[in-house]
């Protein structure tokens, strides 16, 4: 398979993931988060394999990647019906908080044990998303900012997107707009231009700025004909009428 074809497949996969997130007004649910994990984990493993002579760092990356995969399983563990007892042969949690708390312990352990690995950066990003889900905006902001400053370009973009979502949900509209504009101007494989545009348009729509939202949806529709993004923009324009 040609390199360009592989690159396009990656772009398409990330586009489907992030458009789905935009469609739900930047809500970082476990479903979306775990889909992103699968994509970024692949990049982490490739990076670990390419270290070459740096044996120690390669070994650390491998161990950290394994621990991160275990944490993904924790985040995917089902919840028990209310009042149902735990089954020893079928892992489960009694509540979303119990599952989140267990995952956060595992994620923090990765950050502490393997601080200089890409898996640690990914763990820090997930710590931010779980904190945001729990309503702890200050901790989430701190985690996302650390990823932006220390993570890879692709992971940093995801952290900026999550941070912009956090700002939008906590009435820091100006800060959110600035981050979305930055992502629009400097898109990556993990956060495409149209993804950031859709998120920003949603923010405008939710903060009673219909003219700005309409302008952006019209631009998305024009630039992305016959695509999921273009169809979504058309739908949103209909809602604004």
17-67: pLDDT as tens digits: 333 433 333 343 344 444 455 455 545 444 444 444 455 667 777 888 888
CA distances from 6 to 69, 88, 170 (A): 24, 42, 38
pLDDT for the residue 164: 96
pLDDT for the residue 224: 92
How many angstroms separate the first and last alpha carbons of the chain?
45
User: Counting Cβ atoms within 10 Å, is residue 9 exposed (0-12), middle (13-18) or buried (19+)?
Assistant: exposed
- pLDDT beneath 50: ranges in the chain: 1-35, 38, 42, 44-53
Full set of structural domains in the chain with CATH: 10-79+93-240 (1.25.40.10)
Q: What are phi and psi of 207, to 5 degrees?
A: -110, 25
pLDDT for the residue 24: 37
206 token code pair: 């939710």
Q: Would you list the DSSP string of 27-59?
A: ---HHHHHHHHHHHHHHHHHHHHTTTT-HHHHH
Beta-carbon contacts of residue 19 (< 8 Å; ≥ 6 apart): 194, 195, 198, 228, 229, 232
Q: Identify the three-state secondary structure at position 93.
A: strand
pLDDT for the residue 151: 67
């Amino acid at each position: 398979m040609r390199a360009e074809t592989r690159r396009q497949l990656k772009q398409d996969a990330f586009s489907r993931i992030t458009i789905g997130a935009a469609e739900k007004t930047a809500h970082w649910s476990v479903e979306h988060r775990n889909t992103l994990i699968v994509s970024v984990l692949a990049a982490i493993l490739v990076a670990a394999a390419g270290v070459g002579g740096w044996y120690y760092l390669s070994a650390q990356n491998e161990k950290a990647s394994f621990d991160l995969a275990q944490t993904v399983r924790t985040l995917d563990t089902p919840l028990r019906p209310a009042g149902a007892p735990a089954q020893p042969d079928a892992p489960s949690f009694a509540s979303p908080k119990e599952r989140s708390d267990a995952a956060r312990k595992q994620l923090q352990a990765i950050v502490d044990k393997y601080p200089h690995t890409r898996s640690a950066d990914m763990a820090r990003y997930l710590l931010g998303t779980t904190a945001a889900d729990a309503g702890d905006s200050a901790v989430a902001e701190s985690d996302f900012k650390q990823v932006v400053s220390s993570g890879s370009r692709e992971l940093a973009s995801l952290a900026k997107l999550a941070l912009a979502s956090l700002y939008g949900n906590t009435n820091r509209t100006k800060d959110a707009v600035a981050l979305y504009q930055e992502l629009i101007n400097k898109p990556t494989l993990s956060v495409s231009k149209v993804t950031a545009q859709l998120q920003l348009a949603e923010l405008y729509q939710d903060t009673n700025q219909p003219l700005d939202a309409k302008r952006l949806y019209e631009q998305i529709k024009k630039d992305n004909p016959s695509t999921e993004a273009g169809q979504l923009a058309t739908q949103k324009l209909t809602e604004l009428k």
